[in-house]
A and B are shown apart, each in its own frame.
Chain A
């Protein structure tokens, strides 16, 4: 199984990357490249939608951590949408759920963006 990736703009300097399939040692470099492309384009908030991800490994975690670090350097953020308990568990057992903001739905993730604009 391969990785399908679709990127959508969700407002000023914010984008969602929808992922479908497996994010592993073979496909994670595609995600890394897409995050870099968004950063180079001036995006400050990247939301990675893992709702349709069936498998995710340490290589994917490494790419997400790298993306988060790069974005934070620019006062940005990288958040996750992850309703799948199996995938969410990987973040929990590694302690990475304390590092990332993880939402169950796109609407929940969007609320954060809204509240940020207000404050």
Chain B
């Protein structure tokens, strides 16, 4: 019988640059438990790191570094869904596909990397405030 309930790993970190590495270590552990290749695990680590980066950078700009970022990983079969939720209302900037990478700032480069590294990528404002970045990667 196929699994219907995902295994969930959730982590809360402060919106500060020195904690982004903690989130990357955690997702490395989660992704390593799934049948991903070494390169795919690295892609997931970078994509989640970028999602946290954009949360931290927007928190700094909004002067809200006392807020938290919640990283929720859901494993269901060969599907890994990572949801990165922050408390910042301003959405990350998603660059146009035609923009030259040298014309992008850090945030634009981060969004570009997320789009390239995972199979599904979505950014949406939350009804209760804040922003949710959802990324999906399929193993195999």
* Contacts from A to B (Cβ < 8 Å): 1, 22, 24-26, 55, 57-59, 61-62, 65, 68-69, 86, 89-90, 93-96, 99
Contact = CB atoms under 8 A, between A and B. Distances in A.
Contacts of A62: 104-106, 109
B129 interface: no
B109 to A, nearest CB: 4
B106 to A, nearest CB: 4
B116 A93 contact: yes
Interface of B: 17-18, 20-21, 24, 39, 42, 45-46, 49-50, 52-53, 56-57, 100-102, 104-107, 109-110, 112-113, 116-117
A55 B52 CA distance: 15
B24 A94 contact: no
Contacts of A96: 101-102
B46 to A, nearest CB: 6
B98 to A, nearest CB: 12
Nearest to B105: A62
A57 B56 CA distance: 14
A25 B53 contact: yes
A90 B106 contact: no
Given A26-B17, A96-B101, A58 B116 contact: no
A55 B18 CA distance: 15
Given A1-B21, A24-B21, A86 B53 contact: no
B50 A58 contact: yes
Contacts of A95: 100-101
Contacts of B116: 93-94
B53 A57 contact: yes
A99 B113 contact: no
13 contacts: A55-B24, A55-B49, A57-B49, A58-B110, A59-B110, A61-B101, A62-B106, A86-B39, A89-B39, A93-B113, A93-B116, A93-B117, A96-B102
Nearest to B45: A55
Contacts of A57: 46, 49-50, 53, 110, 113
Contacts of A90: 46, 113
Contacts of B117: 93
Nearest to B114: A58
